[in-house]
Structure 1
Amino acid sequence: MSGCEGCASASPDGTCTSSTGCDKPEDQKLKRTLGRIKHKIVVMSGKGGVGKSTVAANIAVALSLAGKKVGLLDVDVHGPSVPRLLSLKGQQPHIGDQVMEPVPWSKNLSVMSLGFLLQDDRQAVIWRGPVKMGLIKQFVEDVMWGDLDFLIVDCPPGTGDEPLSTLQTLGPTAMAVIVTTPQGVAVDDVRRSVSFVGEVGNRVLGIVENMSGFACPDCGKVHYIFKTGGGEELAKESGVQFLGRIPLDPAVAESGDEGFPFMKVHRDTATGKAMEQIIAPILALPDPPKA
Protein backbone atom coordinates (compact mmCIF):
# COMPACT_ATOMS: atom_id res chain seq x y z
CA MET A 1 0.00 0.00 0.00
CA SER A 2 1.23 3.48 -0.81
CA GLY A 3 2.34 5.49 2.18
CA CYS A 4 -0.01 8.27 1.13
CA GLU A 5 -3.08 6.12 0.47
CA GLY A 6 -6.12 7.64 2.16
CA CYS A 7 -4.28 10.86 2.99
CA ALA A 8 -6.07 14.12 2.24
CA SER A 9 -2.96 15.19 0.29
CA ALA A 10 -2.90 12.10 -1.93
CA SER A 11 -3.30 12.35 -5.69
CA PRO A 12 -5.36 9.72 -7.59
CA ASP A 13 -2.24 7.56 -8.06
CA GLY A 14 -1.56 7.56 -4.31
CA THR A 15 1.45 9.90 -4.30
CA CYS A 16 1.79 12.82 -1.94
CA THR A 17 1.01 16.34 -3.15
CA SER A 18 1.66 18.06 0.16
CA SER A 19 4.69 20.34 0.48
CA THR A 20 5.04 19.39 4.16
CA GLY A 21 4.57 15.63 3.83
CA CYS A 22 2.01 13.43 5.61
CA ASP A 23 2.78 14.21 9.24
CA LYS A 24 -0.71 15.19 10.35
CA PRO A 25 -1.89 12.87 13.15
CA GLU A 26 -5.29 12.37 11.51
CA ASP A 27 -3.64 11.30 8.24
CA GLN A 28 -1.44 8.82 10.09
CA LYS A 29 -4.48 7.46 11.94
CA LEU A 30 -6.37 6.99 8.67
CA LYS A 31 -3.34 5.31 7.12
CA ARG A 32 -3.12 2.83 10.01
CA THR A 33 -6.82 2.02 9.75
CA LEU A 34 -6.69 1.42 6.00
CA GLY A 35 -3.54 -0.66 6.40
CA ARG A 36 -5.57 -3.24 8.36
CA ILE A 37 -8.22 -3.63 5.64
CA LYS A 38 -7.35 -5.92 2.73
CA HIS A 39 -10.14 -5.01 0.31
CA LYS A 40 -12.31 -1.87 0.20
CA ILE A 41 -15.43 -2.22 -1.95
CA VAL A 42 -17.87 0.64 -2.50
CA VAL A 43 -21.36 -0.38 -3.65
CA MET A 44 -22.92 2.46 -5.60
CA SER A 45 -25.34 3.38 -8.36
CA GLY A 46 -26.23 6.41 -10.41
CA LYS A 47 -29.91 5.59 -9.94
CA GLY A 48 -32.04 5.32 -6.81
CA GLY A 49 -34.40 2.43 -6.19
CA VAL A 50 -32.23 -0.25 -7.81
CA GLY A 51 -31.77 -2.30 -4.63
CA LYS A 52 -28.22 -1.13 -3.97
CA SER A 53 -28.41 -1.34 -0.16
CA THR A 54 -29.92 -4.81 -0.35
CA VAL A 55 -27.08 -5.93 -2.62
CA ALA A 56 -24.47 -4.36 -0.34
CA ALA A 57 -25.91 -5.95 2.81
CA ASN A 58 -26.16 -9.38 1.23
CA ILE A 59 -22.62 -9.20 -0.17
CA ALA A 60 -21.36 -8.40 3.33
CA VAL A 61 -23.39 -11.19 4.94
CA ALA A 62 -22.36 -13.77 2.34
CA LEU A 63 -18.68 -12.89 2.74
CA SER A 64 -18.98 -13.18 6.52
CA LEU A 65 -20.72 -16.56 6.22
CA ALA A 66 -17.78 -17.68 4.07
CA GLY A 67 -15.52 -17.07 7.06
CA LYS A 68 -14.20 -13.65 6.08
CA LYS A 69 -13.86 -10.76 8.53
CA VAL A 70 -16.13 -8.06 7.15
CA GLY A 71 -17.11 -4.50 7.98
CA LEU A 72 -20.27 -2.95 6.52
CA LEU A 73 -20.31 0.85 6.47
CA ASP A 74 -23.53 2.67 5.59
CA VAL A 75 -22.74 6.22 4.43
CA ASP A 76 -26.24 7.02 3.18
CA VAL A 77 -26.65 10.02 5.47
CA HIS A 78 -30.19 10.93 4.43
CA GLY A 79 -31.63 7.42 4.22
CA PRO A 80 -29.61 4.88 6.23
CA SER A 81 -31.32 1.53 5.63
CA VAL A 82 -28.69 -1.00 6.69
CA PRO A 83 -29.88 -1.15 10.34
CA ARG A 84 -33.32 -2.31 9.17
CA LEU A 85 -31.93 -4.73 6.59
CA LEU A 86 -29.88 -6.49 9.28
CA SER A 87 -32.44 -6.23 12.11
CA LEU A 88 -30.18 -3.86 14.04
CA LYS A 89 -32.59 -0.95 14.53
CA GLY A 90 -32.27 0.52 18.01
CA GLN A 91 -28.69 -0.68 18.45
CA GLN A 92 -26.04 1.83 19.46
CA PRO A 93 -22.27 1.71 19.08
CA HIS A 94 -20.08 2.11 22.13
CA ILE A 95 -18.40 5.52 21.91
CA GLY A 96 -15.15 6.10 23.78
CA ASP A 97 -12.39 8.72 23.66
CA GLN A 98 -12.08 9.46 19.91
CA VAL A 99 -13.08 5.90 19.00
CA MET A 100 -16.30 4.05 18.24
CA GLU A 101 -16.99 0.34 18.30
CA PRO A 102 -19.10 -0.88 15.37
CA VAL A 103 -22.28 -2.81 16.08
CA PRO A 104 -21.73 -6.57 15.74
CA TRP A 105 -24.09 -8.57 13.53
CA SER A 106 -22.07 -11.75 13.99
CA LYS A 107 -18.55 -12.69 15.02
CA ASN A 108 -17.42 -12.01 11.44
CA LEU A 109 -19.52 -8.96 10.54
CA SER A 110 -19.46 -5.50 12.14
CA VAL A 111 -21.67 -2.61 11.06
CA MET A 112 -21.62 1.18 11.31
CA SER A 113 -24.37 3.55 10.18
CA LEU A 114 -25.59 7.02 11.02
CA GLY A 115 -28.90 5.27 11.71
CA PHE A 116 -27.40 3.98 14.97
CA LEU A 117 -26.73 7.54 16.15
CA LEU A 118 -30.15 9.10 15.44
CA GLN A 119 -32.42 9.32 18.47
CA ASP A 120 -35.52 9.19 16.25
CA ASP A 121 -35.52 7.27 12.95
CA ARG A 122 -38.09 9.78 11.65
CA GLN A 123 -35.56 12.57 12.12
CA ALA A 124 -34.48 14.29 8.91
CA VAL A 125 -30.74 14.86 8.50
CA ILE A 126 -30.21 18.30 6.95
CA TRP A 127 -26.49 18.55 6.35
CA ARG A 128 -24.35 20.26 3.76
CA GLY A 129 -21.47 18.59 1.95
CA PRO A 130 -18.55 19.40 4.30
CA VAL A 131 -20.38 17.92 7.31
CA LYS A 132 -21.17 14.73 5.42
CA MET A 133 -17.59 14.47 4.20
CA GLY A 134 -16.33 14.81 7.77
CA LEU A 135 -18.68 12.10 9.01
CA ILE A 136 -17.54 9.65 6.33
CA LYS A 137 -13.88 10.15 7.22
CA GLN A 138 -14.72 9.77 10.91
CA PHE A 139 -16.59 6.53 10.25
CA VAL A 140 -13.47 5.14 8.59
CA GLU A 141 -10.66 6.32 10.85
CA ASP A 142 -12.40 6.56 14.25
CA VAL A 143 -14.30 3.26 14.14
CA MET A 144 -12.48 0.26 15.59
CA TRP A 145 -12.78 -1.96 12.53
CA GLY A 146 -9.73 -4.01 13.41
CA ASP A 147 -8.28 -6.42 10.86
CA LEU A 148 -10.72 -6.91 7.99
CA ASP A 149 -10.69 -8.99 4.85
CA PHE A 150 -13.38 -6.72 3.35
CA LEU A 151 -14.89 -3.33 4.09
CA ILE A 152 -18.16 -3.01 2.15
CA VAL A 153 -19.48 0.55 1.87
CA ASP A 154 -23.10 1.27 0.95
CA CYS A 155 -23.30 4.68 -0.77
CA PRO A 156 -26.41 6.69 -1.62
CA PRO A 157 -27.30 6.99 -5.32
CA GLY A 158 -25.61 9.49 -7.60
CA THR A 159 -22.11 10.87 -7.99
CA GLY A 160 -22.22 13.52 -5.30
CA ASP A 161 -20.54 14.21 -1.96
CA GLU A 162 -20.91 10.78 -0.36
CA PRO A 163 -19.41 8.52 -3.06
CA LEU A 164 -16.73 11.10 -3.87
CA SER A 165 -15.72 11.48 -0.22
CA THR A 166 -15.80 7.72 0.30
CA LEU A 167 -13.49 6.93 -2.61
CA GLN A 168 -11.12 9.77 -1.72
CA THR A 169 -10.98 8.62 1.90
CA LEU A 170 -10.43 4.95 1.08
CA GLY A 171 -7.78 5.71 -1.53
CA PRO A 172 -7.03 4.49 -5.05
CA THR A 173 -7.08 0.77 -4.22
CA ALA A 174 -10.78 0.89 -3.32
CA MET A 175 -12.99 -0.73 -5.97
CA ALA A 176 -16.61 -0.11 -6.95
CA VAL A 177 -19.45 -2.54 -7.46
CA ILE A 178 -22.10 -0.70 -9.47
CA VAL A 179 -25.74 -1.77 -9.32
CA THR A 180 -28.30 -1.14 -12.04
CA THR A 181 -31.64 -2.45 -13.23
CA PRO A 182 -32.06 -3.54 -16.87
CA GLN A 183 -34.17 -0.58 -18.03
CA GLY A 184 -32.54 2.02 -20.24
CA VAL A 185 -33.46 4.92 -17.94
CA ALA A 186 -31.46 3.26 -15.14
CA VAL A 187 -28.55 2.22 -17.34
CA ASP A 188 -28.18 5.81 -18.61
CA ASP A 189 -27.69 7.07 -15.05
CA VAL A 190 -25.46 4.16 -14.03
CA ARG A 191 -23.22 4.77 -17.06
CA ARG A 192 -22.27 8.04 -15.39
CA SER A 193 -21.24 6.13 -12.27
CA VAL A 194 -18.81 4.05 -14.32
CA SER A 195 -17.13 7.16 -15.74
CA PHE A 196 -17.20 8.83 -12.31
CA VAL A 197 -15.21 6.01 -10.71
CA GLY A 198 -12.58 6.18 -13.44
CA GLU A 199 -12.27 9.95 -13.22
CA VAL A 200 -11.74 9.79 -9.45
CA GLY A 201 -8.94 7.29 -10.05
CA ASN A 202 -10.48 4.02 -8.86
CA ARG A 203 -11.41 0.77 -10.57
CA VAL A 204 -14.83 -0.73 -11.19
CA LEU A 205 -14.78 -4.30 -9.89
CA GLY A 206 -17.96 -5.09 -11.77
CA ILE A 207 -21.59 -4.36 -12.57
CA VAL A 208 -24.62 -6.10 -11.05
CA GLU A 209 -27.94 -6.19 -12.90
CA ASN A 210 -30.63 -6.30 -10.22
CA MET A 211 -34.36 -7.00 -10.68
CA SER A 212 -33.59 -8.89 -13.89
CA GLY A 213 -36.55 -11.16 -14.55
CA PHE A 214 -39.08 -12.38 -11.99
CA ALA A 215 -38.45 -15.30 -9.62
CA CYS A 216 -41.79 -17.11 -9.36
CA PRO A 217 -42.43 -18.15 -5.74
CA ASP A 218 -44.67 -21.02 -6.92
CA CYS A 219 -42.60 -22.79 -9.59
CA GLY A 220 -39.15 -21.51 -8.57
CA LYS A 221 -38.26 -20.51 -12.12
CA VAL A 222 -37.14 -17.09 -13.34
CA HIS A 223 -39.45 -15.54 -15.94
CA TYR A 224 -38.23 -12.61 -18.03
CA ILE A 225 -41.39 -10.54 -18.05
CA PHE A 226 -39.60 -7.23 -18.41
CA LYS A 227 -36.46 -6.19 -20.24
CA THR A 228 -33.20 -7.87 -19.26
CA GLY A 229 -29.56 -7.49 -20.26
CA GLY A 230 -29.08 -3.74 -19.82
CA GLY A 231 -26.42 -4.15 -17.14
CA GLU A 232 -24.53 -6.76 -19.12
CA GLU A 233 -24.54 -4.54 -22.20
CA LEU A 234 -23.21 -1.63 -20.13
CA ALA A 235 -20.42 -3.83 -18.78
CA LYS A 236 -19.37 -4.82 -22.30
CA GLU A 237 -19.57 -1.22 -23.47
CA SER A 238 -17.48 -0.01 -20.53
CA GLY A 239 -14.95 -2.84 -20.63
CA VAL A 240 -15.65 -3.92 -17.05
CA GLN A 241 -16.63 -7.25 -15.54
CA PHE A 242 -20.29 -8.27 -15.48
CA LEU A 243 -20.79 -9.89 -12.09
CA GLY A 244 -24.26 -11.28 -12.82
CA ARG A 245 -27.98 -10.65 -12.63
CA ILE A 246 -30.38 -10.98 -9.71
CA PRO A 247 -34.07 -11.64 -10.40
CA LEU A 248 -36.91 -9.69 -8.85
CA ASP A 249 -37.89 -11.94 -5.96
CA PRO A 250 -40.67 -11.21 -3.41
CA ALA A 251 -38.61 -13.03 -0.78
CA VAL A 252 -35.81 -10.46 -1.12
CA ALA A 253 -38.16 -7.58 -0.25
CA GLU A 254 -39.74 -9.59 2.56
CA SER A 255 -36.42 -10.55 4.12
CA GLY A 256 -35.25 -6.92 3.95
CA ASP A 257 -38.38 -5.63 5.68
CA GLU A 258 -38.10 -8.27 8.39
CA GLY A 259 -34.36 -7.76 8.87
CA PHE A 260 -33.26 -11.27 7.97
CA PRO A 261 -30.59 -11.14 5.24
CA PHE A 262 -31.64 -13.09 2.16
CA MET A 263 -28.27 -14.83 1.83
CA LYS A 264 -28.58 -16.29 5.31
CA VAL A 265 -32.05 -17.80 4.94
CA HIS A 266 -32.64 -18.32 1.19
CA ARG A 267 -29.24 -19.02 -0.34
CA ASP A 268 -30.41 -22.33 -1.88
CA THR A 269 -33.00 -20.63 -4.10
CA ALA A 270 -32.49 -19.49 -7.69
CA THR A 271 -32.04 -15.93 -6.43
CA GLY A 272 -29.57 -17.10 -3.79
CA LYS A 273 -27.52 -18.94 -6.40
CA ALA A 274 -27.53 -15.80 -8.56
CA MET A 275 -26.16 -13.80 -5.64
CA GLU A 276 -23.50 -16.46 -4.99
CA GLN A 277 -22.35 -16.08 -8.61
CA ILE A 278 -21.90 -12.35 -8.00
CA ILE A 279 -20.01 -12.88 -4.75
CA ALA A 280 -17.62 -15.54 -6.14
CA PRO A 281 -15.29 -13.06 -7.94
CA ILE A 282 -15.17 -10.93 -4.78
CA LEU A 283 -14.18 -13.93 -2.66
CA ALA A 284 -11.51 -14.78 -5.24
CA LEU A 285 -9.74 -11.41 -5.00
CA PRO A 286 -6.07 -11.97 -4.16
CA ASP A 287 -4.71 -10.45 -0.99
CA PRO A 288 -2.89 -7.18 -1.65
CA PRO A 289 0.89 -7.16 -1.18
CA LYS A 290 2.02 -6.22 2.30
CA ALA A 291 3.45 -2.74 2.73
Structure 2
Amino acid sequence: MMQQNQVIEPRRNIKNVIAVMSGKGGVGKSTVTAILAKELRKLGYSVGIMDADITGPSIPRLMDIKDKRSTTDGQYFMPVITKEGIKVISLNTVLPNEEEAVVWRGPVIASAVMQFWNEVVWDDLDYLLIDMPPGTGDVPLTVMKSIPLKGVVMVSIPQDMVSMIVSKAINMTKKLKVEVLGLIQNMSYINCDNCNHKIYLSDEEDKEILEKMEVELLGELPMTREIGKLSRGQELYTGEIFSSIAKRVVKKIENKR
Protein backbone atom coordinates (compact mmCIF):
# COMPACT_ATOMS: atom_id res chain seq x y z
CA MET A 1 0.00 0.00 0.00
CA MET A 2 1.06 3.64 -0.36
CA GLN A 3 3.23 5.41 2.16
CA GLN A 4 1.32 7.82 4.37
CA ASN A 5 3.20 10.87 3.04
CA GLN A 6 2.27 10.30 -0.60
CA VAL A 7 -0.29 12.52 -2.29
CA ILE A 8 -3.71 10.90 -2.43
CA GLU A 9 -5.98 11.59 -5.41
CA PRO A 10 -8.75 9.03 -5.14
CA ARG A 11 -10.96 8.21 -8.11
CA ARG A 12 -14.34 8.00 -6.50
CA ASN A 13 -17.78 9.49 -6.91
CA ILE A 14 -19.84 7.88 -4.18
CA LYS A 15 -23.31 9.27 -3.55
CA ASN A 16 -24.16 7.47 -0.30
CA VAL A 17 -21.90 5.82 2.27
CA ILE A 18 -23.60 3.65 4.89
CA ALA A 19 -21.86 1.87 7.76
CA VAL A 20 -23.26 -1.43 9.02
CA MET A 21 -22.48 -1.77 12.72
CA SER A 22 -23.31 -4.18 15.52
CA GLY A 23 -21.43 -3.21 18.66
CA LYS A 24 -20.97 -6.94 19.31
CA GLY A 25 -19.65 -9.79 17.19
CA GLY A 26 -21.60 -12.87 16.18
CA VAL A 27 -24.91 -11.20 15.36
CA GLY A 28 -24.68 -11.57 11.57
CA LYS A 29 -23.50 -8.06 10.70
CA SER A 30 -21.40 -9.14 7.72
CA THR A 31 -24.18 -11.39 6.44
CA VAL A 32 -26.63 -8.50 6.67
CA THR A 33 -24.13 -6.28 4.80
CA ALA A 34 -23.75 -8.84 2.01
CA ILE A 35 -27.48 -9.40 1.56
CA LEU A 36 -28.27 -5.68 1.76
CA ALA A 37 -25.69 -5.02 -0.98
CA LYS A 38 -27.28 -7.71 -3.17
CA GLU A 39 -30.77 -6.28 -2.63
CA LEU A 40 -29.65 -2.72 -3.44
CA ARG A 41 -28.07 -4.07 -6.60
CA LYS A 42 -31.33 -5.81 -7.53
CA LEU A 43 -33.04 -2.44 -7.18
CA GLY A 44 -30.77 -1.13 -9.91
CA TYR A 45 -28.17 0.75 -7.86
CA SER A 46 -24.41 0.58 -8.32
CA VAL A 47 -23.01 -0.83 -5.07
CA GLY A 48 -19.69 -1.39 -3.34
CA ILE A 49 -18.62 -2.98 -0.06
CA MET A 50 -15.65 -1.91 2.04
CA ASP A 51 -14.77 -4.69 4.47
CA ALA A 52 -13.49 -2.68 7.44
CA ASP A 53 -13.36 -5.73 9.71
CA ILE A 54 -9.62 -6.04 9.16
CA THR A 55 -8.90 -8.83 11.66
CA GLY A 56 -12.00 -10.86 10.79
CA PRO A 57 -12.79 -10.26 7.11
CA SER A 58 -15.67 -12.45 5.95
CA ILE A 59 -17.14 -10.41 3.08
CA PRO A 60 -15.12 -12.16 0.32
CA ARG A 61 -16.57 -15.56 1.28
CA LEU A 62 -20.09 -14.15 1.63
CA MET A 63 -19.81 -12.51 -1.79
CA ASP A 64 -18.27 -15.64 -3.39
CA ILE A 65 -14.96 -13.98 -4.31
CA LYS A 66 -12.67 -15.69 -1.79
CA ASP A 67 -10.32 -16.88 -4.57
CA LYS A 68 -10.10 -13.49 -6.30
CA ARG A 69 -7.52 -10.80 -5.53
CA SER A 70 -7.41 -7.05 -5.98
CA THR A 71 -4.95 -5.71 -8.54
CA THR A 72 -2.84 -2.59 -8.15
CA ASP A 73 -0.90 -0.23 -10.40
CA GLY A 74 1.49 0.46 -7.54
CA GLN A 75 -0.52 3.45 -6.39
CA TYR A 76 -4.18 2.47 -6.34
CA PHE A 77 -6.07 -0.78 -5.78
CA MET A 78 -8.85 -2.03 -8.04
CA PRO A 79 -11.75 -3.62 -6.16
CA VAL A 80 -12.84 -7.14 -6.97
CA ILE A 81 -16.15 -7.22 -8.84
CA THR A 82 -18.68 -9.93 -8.00
CA LYS A 83 -20.90 -11.72 -10.51
CA GLU A 84 -23.68 -9.28 -9.58
CA GLY A 85 -21.45 -6.31 -10.39
CA ILE A 86 -20.77 -5.31 -6.74
CA LYS A 87 -17.33 -3.83 -6.09
CA VAL A 88 -15.55 -5.24 -3.02
CA ILE A 89 -12.34 -4.44 -1.17
CA SER A 90 -11.20 -6.48 1.82
CA LEU A 91 -7.91 -7.39 3.42
CA ASN A 92 -8.57 -10.92 2.17
CA THR A 93 -8.67 -9.64 -1.42
CA VAL A 94 -5.26 -8.03 -0.83
CA LEU A 95 -3.45 -10.78 1.08
CA PRO A 96 -2.22 -13.77 -0.94
CA ASN A 97 -3.65 -16.19 1.64
CA GLU A 98 -7.01 -15.62 3.33
CA GLU A 99 -5.90 -17.60 6.39
CA GLU A 100 -2.92 -15.34 7.08
CA ALA A 101 -3.24 -13.80 10.57
CA VAL A 102 -3.20 -10.02 10.91
CA VAL A 103 -1.43 -9.06 14.13
CA TRP A 104 -1.74 -5.28 14.05
CA ARG A 105 -2.41 -2.68 16.70
CA GLY A 106 -5.51 -0.49 16.55
CA PRO A 107 -3.99 2.60 14.87
CA VAL A 108 -2.47 0.46 12.08
CA ILE A 109 -5.83 -1.23 11.49
CA ALA A 110 -7.59 2.14 11.35
CA SER A 111 -4.96 3.37 8.88
CA ALA A 112 -5.60 0.35 6.65
CA VAL A 113 -9.32 1.17 6.58
CA MET A 114 -8.55 4.74 5.48
CA GLN A 115 -6.35 3.36 2.73
CA PHE A 116 -9.35 1.35 1.53
CA TRP A 117 -11.19 4.65 1.30
CA ASN A 118 -8.40 6.74 -0.20
CA GLU A 119 -6.51 4.30 -2.40
CA VAL A 120 -9.22 2.16 -4.01
CA VAL A 121 -10.63 3.08 -7.42
CA TRP A 122 -14.32 3.05 -6.56
CA ASP A 123 -15.35 5.30 -9.47
CA ASP A 124 -19.14 5.92 -9.57
CA LEU A 125 -21.27 4.28 -6.87
CA ASP A 126 -24.79 4.93 -5.64
CA TYR A 127 -24.08 3.09 -2.37
CA LEU A 128 -20.93 2.07 -0.55
CA LEU A 129 -21.58 -0.19 2.45
CA ILE A 130 -18.89 -0.33 5.12
CA ASP A 131 -18.88 -3.57 7.08
CA MET A 132 -17.61 -2.37 10.45
CA PRO A 133 -15.80 -4.49 13.04
CA PRO A 134 -17.73 -5.13 16.27
CA GLY A 135 -17.37 -2.68 19.12
CA THR A 136 -16.74 1.04 19.43
CA GLY A 137 -12.97 1.10 19.01
CA ASP A 138 -10.47 2.71 16.65
CA VAL A 139 -12.04 1.68 13.34
CA PRO A 140 -15.63 2.85 14.02
CA LEU A 141 -14.23 6.08 15.48
CA THR A 142 -12.02 6.65 12.43
CA VAL A 143 -14.79 5.86 9.95
CA MET A 144 -17.32 8.14 11.63
CA LYS A 145 -14.88 11.03 11.93
CA SER A 146 -13.13 10.73 8.57
CA ILE A 147 -15.61 9.32 6.04
CA PRO A 148 -18.78 11.22 5.01
CA LEU A 149 -21.42 8.77 6.21
CA LYS A 150 -25.06 9.26 5.32
CA GLY A 151 -25.94 7.01 8.25
CA VAL A 152 -25.49 3.77 10.15
CA VAL A 153 -27.55 0.58 10.02
CA MET A 154 -27.40 -1.28 13.34
CA VAL A 155 -27.66 -5.07 13.55
CA SER A 156 -28.79 -6.84 16.71
CA ILE A 157 -30.22 -10.11 17.96
CA PRO A 158 -32.99 -10.48 20.60
CA GLN A 159 -30.85 -10.85 23.72
CA ASP A 160 -30.72 -8.43 26.63
CA MET A 161 -26.90 -8.41 26.76
CA VAL A 162 -26.64 -7.65 23.04
CA SER A 163 -29.24 -4.90 23.31
CA MET A 164 -27.19 -3.23 26.04
CA ILE A 165 -24.04 -3.32 23.88
CA VAL A 166 -25.94 -2.02 20.85
CA SER A 167 -27.14 0.86 23.05
CA LYS A 168 -23.49 1.79 23.57
CA ALA A 169 -22.90 1.78 19.81
CA ILE A 170 -25.97 3.97 19.24
CA ASN A 171 -24.77 6.39 21.91
CA MET A 172 -21.42 6.54 20.12
CA THR A 173 -23.10 7.58 16.86
CA LYS A 174 -25.02 10.29 18.70
CA LYS A 175 -21.85 11.71 20.24
CA LEU A 176 -20.26 11.83 16.81
CA LYS A 177 -23.44 13.24 15.23
CA VAL A 178 -23.95 10.36 12.82
CA GLU A 179 -27.55 9.34 12.15
CA VAL A 180 -28.73 5.79 12.83
CA LEU A 181 -30.96 4.92 9.88
CA GLY A 182 -32.50 2.03 11.79
CA LEU A 183 -31.95 -1.36 13.37
CA ILE A 184 -32.23 -4.81 11.82
CA GLN A 185 -32.97 -7.58 14.30
CA ASN A 186 -31.31 -10.75 13.07
CA MET A 187 -32.08 -14.31 14.23
CA SER A 188 -35.39 -12.99 15.50
CA TYR A 189 -37.57 -16.06 14.85
CA ILE A 190 -37.94 -19.29 12.90
CA ASN A 191 -40.75 -20.17 10.53
CA CYS A 192 -42.71 -23.36 11.17
CA ASP A 193 -42.39 -25.61 8.10
CA ASN A 194 -45.94 -26.88 8.54
CA CYS A 195 -47.97 -23.75 9.24
CA ASN A 196 -45.50 -20.94 8.40
CA HIS A 197 -46.12 -19.50 11.87
CA LYS A 198 -43.38 -17.31 13.32
CA ILE A 199 -41.82 -18.84 16.43
CA TYR A 200 -39.84 -16.24 18.36
CA LEU A 201 -36.71 -17.62 20.00
CA SER A 202 -36.52 -15.20 22.91
CA ASP A 203 -38.80 -13.14 25.08
CA GLU A 204 -36.35 -10.30 24.79
CA GLU A 205 -37.42 -7.53 22.44
CA ASP A 206 -35.68 -4.43 21.16
CA LYS A 207 -38.84 -2.29 21.30
CA GLU A 208 -37.92 -0.65 24.58
CA ILE A 209 -34.40 0.20 23.48
CA LEU A 210 -35.66 1.42 20.11
CA GLU A 211 -38.14 3.78 21.75
CA LYS A 212 -35.56 4.98 24.25
CA MET A 213 -32.94 5.61 21.56
CA GLU A 214 -35.50 6.88 19.01
CA VAL A 215 -34.35 4.33 16.42
CA GLU A 216 -36.62 2.72 13.82
CA LEU A 217 -36.89 -1.06 13.44
CA LEU A 218 -36.08 -1.67 9.77
CA GLY A 219 -37.06 -5.33 9.93
CA GLU A 220 -36.80 -8.72 11.63
CA LEU A 221 -34.92 -11.58 10.00
CA PRO A 222 -35.55 -15.27 10.64
CA MET A 223 -32.98 -17.83 11.69
CA THR A 224 -32.68 -20.17 8.73
CA ARG A 225 -30.29 -22.74 7.29
CA GLU A 226 -30.60 -20.96 3.95
CA ILE A 227 -28.29 -18.17 5.12
CA GLY A 228 -25.48 -20.71 5.43
CA LYS A 229 -25.51 -20.97 1.65
CA LEU A 230 -23.90 -17.54 1.39
CA SER A 231 -20.63 -18.62 2.99
CA ARG A 232 -20.50 -21.57 0.58
CA GLY A 233 -20.84 -19.32 -2.43
CA GLN A 234 -24.44 -20.30 -3.15
CA GLU A 235 -27.22 -17.89 -4.01
CA LEU A 236 -29.67 -17.03 -1.23
CA TYR A 237 -33.33 -16.42 -1.91
CA THR A 238 -34.32 -13.64 0.47
CA GLY A 239 -37.81 -12.97 -0.81
CA GLU A 240 -39.66 -9.83 0.22
CA ILE A 241 -38.15 -9.63 3.72
CA PHE A 242 -34.81 -8.15 2.71
CA SER A 243 -36.19 -6.35 -0.32
CA SER A 244 -38.48 -4.34 1.95
CA ILE A 245 -35.58 -3.54 4.30
CA ALA A 246 -33.44 -2.32 1.40
CA LYS A 247 -36.29 -0.12 0.19
CA ARG A 248 -36.65 1.36 3.68
CA VAL A 249 -32.94 2.19 3.75
CA VAL A 250 -33.20 3.87 0.33
CA LYS A 251 -36.24 5.86 1.46
CA LYS A 252 -34.37 7.00 4.58
CA ILE A 253 -31.48 8.22 2.44
CA GLU A 254 -33.73 9.95 -0.08
CA ASN A 255 -35.58 11.76 2.72
CA LYS A 256 -32.27 13.24 3.88
CA ARG A 257 -31.77 15.10 0.61
Structure-2-length-normalised TM-score: 0.90
Alignment match of 2:220 (pick from 231, 236, 245): 245
Mapped contact 1:37–1:150 kept (Cα < 8 A):
yes
Correspondence for 2:130: 153
Matched letter for residue 258 of structure 1:
R
Correspondence for 2:202: 227
CA distance in 2, matches of 1:245, 1:42: 19
Q: Is 1:79 aligned to 2:56, yes or no?
A: yes
Correspondence for 2:65: 88
Mapped contact 2:150–2:179 kept (Cα < 8 A):
yes
Correspondence for 1:17: none
Q: Is 1:276 aligned to 2:252, yes or no?
A: no
Return closer, same or farther for 1:92/1:112 CA change in 2, 3 Å cut-off: same
- For residue 182 of structure 2, give the secondary structure of its aligned residue in structure 1: strand
State the Cα distance separating 1:247 from its structure 2 match.
Answer: 1.0
- For residue 150 of structure 1, give the secondary structure of its aligned residue in structure 2: strand
Matched letter for residue 210 of structure 2:
A
Return closer, same or farther for 1:261/1:161 CA change in 2, 3 Å cut-off: farther
Return closer, same or farther for 1:170/1:219 CA change in 2, 3 Å cut-off: farther
Q: Share of identical aligned residues, percent?
A: 33
The number of aligned residues is: 251
Alignment match of 1:179 (pick from 139, 152, 155): 155
CA distance in 2, matches of 1:110, 1:87: 12
CA distance in 1, matches of 2:100, 2:71: 21
RMSD: 2.0
Paired residues for 1:1-291 under 5 Å: 25-26=7-8, 29=9, 33=12, 36-106=13-83, 108-171=85-148, 173-216=149-192, 218-219=193-194, 221-227=196-202, 230-253=205-228, 255-262=229-236, 266-268=237-239, 273-284=240-251, 285-286=253-254
Structure-1-length-normalised TM-score: 0.80
Return closer, same or farther for 1:287/1:185 CA change in 2, 3 Å cut-off: closer
Return closer, same or farther for 1:287/1:209 CA change in 2, 3 Å cut-off: closer
- For residue 281 of structure 1, give the secondary structure of its aligned residue in structure 2: helix
Mapped contact 2:184–2:220 kept (Cα < 8 A):
yes
State the Cα distance separating 1:220 from its structure 2 match.
Answer: 6.8
Deviation per CA, 1:223-242, whole angstroms, max 9, x where unpaired? 32422562333222111221
Mapped contact 2:17–2:127 kept (Cα < 8 A):
yes
CA distance in 2, matches of 1:238, 1:250: 32
State the Cα distance separating 1:97 from its structure 2 match.
Answer: 3.2
- For residue 120 of structure 1, give the secondary structure of its aligned residue in structure 2: coil
State the Cα distance separating 1:121 from its structure 2 match.
Answer: 2.2
CA distance in 2, matches of 1:83, 1:69: 18
CA distance in 1, matches of 2:132, 2:172: 14
Mapped contact 1:38–1:288 kept (Cα < 8 A):
no
CA distance in 2, matches of 1:185, 1:47: 10
- For residue 185 of structure 1, give the secondary structure of its aligned residue in structure 2: helix
Q: Which runs of 5+ in 2 are unaligned?
A: 1-5
CA distance in 2, matches of 1:46, 1:223: 27
